[in-house]
Amino acid sequence: MDGLLFVTGRIKDLIIRGGENIAPAHVEAALLTHPAVRNAAVIGRPDHDLGEVVAAAIQLETPDAVTPAELAAHVSPLLARFAVPAQWWISTEPLPMTDAGKPDKRALAALWPSHPSV
């Protein structure tokens, strides 16, 4: 390989918001500490000013168990200010999954509602 390093895989998931690098797995881990959250997937969504914003798709155990504001308050002590999700998609429906049993982030990006929870 002539001394070259090739990075593949999860580096593609990295969210760059206003020059800050955000690892979706770190945000997902923080969200999963909330007892009402059954599953979480974090992606970068396009933003005119910042390049990308952090967006979280959340599967809840029960409807109306928690609001986006409550989730943001829950993860704020666990994350840097810039890593707290700015867009939310909250549902009791299962997230789309890959064959490996992980959230399918490409499918989420394609299915993201035009008016997600704020």
pLDDT single digits (tens) 26-81: 999 999 999 999 999 999 999 999 889 999 999 999 988 999 999 999 999 999 99
> Which CATH code for domain 23-111?
3.30.300.30
CB 55 within 8 A of CB 72: no
Element (H, E) at 72: helix 68-75
User: Residue 58 in contact with residue 28, Cβ under 8 Å?
Assistant: no
The dihedral of CA 77, 83, 88, 93: what is its sign? Answer: negative
In this structure, the strands spanning 51-60 and 37-47 are: antiparallel
The predicted structure's pLDDT at residue 113: 84
Domains of the chain, by residue range, sit at 23-111
